Homo-oligomer: A and B are copies of this chain.
């Protein structure tokens, strides 16, 4: 099976930036970041690689634009009327889930510092932290830390999921074999790792992520 040729697709009403981004997201979702090549993309759009460069500057710009489309949607989670702490949890989980569903978004966010997709997150988190009324000097650092935690951890989670998927492994079997490796480490040098090895296979990344947010918020509370 493998690659299905889809040259027979209806002739698009000419190319456009939107159509290109839409097709890119489809490819990224089904084949991952490495699947998005200008050749695969131009095949799907029934055109040549050069045509895409008329609408888009580079692959990196394309990734940022595709990433922004996903983030814009994730950040639209309904938080109206929630207490700020709940809103922060809801937004965080919405982003976590979006990055889990579209693993390539994590990497794209890292490569677009200060760009639109990151600003969207900053703004939404910032508004909620502001409503928390932390000490004035702490606000910026609190928002930075939260933003970084959310993106950093979601990205790592997605990378892990990707890691097993591309190798055709199940998450559970990977974690189990990892737990065995950990438990066989020298107890002299790795007492903690040996101890927690058996907790590895059962842990829930999403719950761990949320727990981190809560530790954070609890720390923020002591800054009035």
Contact = CB atoms under 8 A, between A and B. Distances in A.
Nearest to A202: B140
A164 to B, nearest CB: 9
A208 B141 contact: yes
A199 B207 CA distance: 33
A216 interface: yes
Interface in A197-224: 199-200, 203, 207-209, 211-212, 214-220, 222-223
B156 A215 contact: no
A129 to B, nearest CB: 8
Q: Is the interface of A mostly helix, strand, loop or mixed?
A: helix
Contacts of A149: 145, 148-149, 152-153, 212
A51 interface: no
A148 B149 CA distance: 8
A182 B220 CA distance: 26
Given A190-B123, A215-B216, A216-B219, A152 B156 contact: yes
Contacts of A7: none
B159 A113 contact: yes
Interface in A128-163: 130, 138-145, 148-149, 151-153, 155-156, 159-160, 163
Contacts of A148: 149, 152-153, 156, 209, 212
Protomer copies: 2
A161 B139 CA distance: 23
Given A127-B192, A153-B148, A155-B152, A111 B208 contact: no
Contact of A196 (B140, B215, B218): B140
Contacts of A83: none
A62 interface: no
Contact of A218 (B126, B189, B209, B222): B222
28 contacts: A110-B156, A110-B159, A114-B181, A119-B182, A119-B190, A122-B193, A123-B189, A123-B192, A126-B192, A140-B196, A141-B211, A142-B211, A143-B192, A144-B211, A144-B212, A145-B209, A148-B156, A149-B153, A149-B212, A151-B156, A152-B152, A152-B153, A152-B156, A214-B219, A216-B216, A216-B219, A219-B219, A219-B220
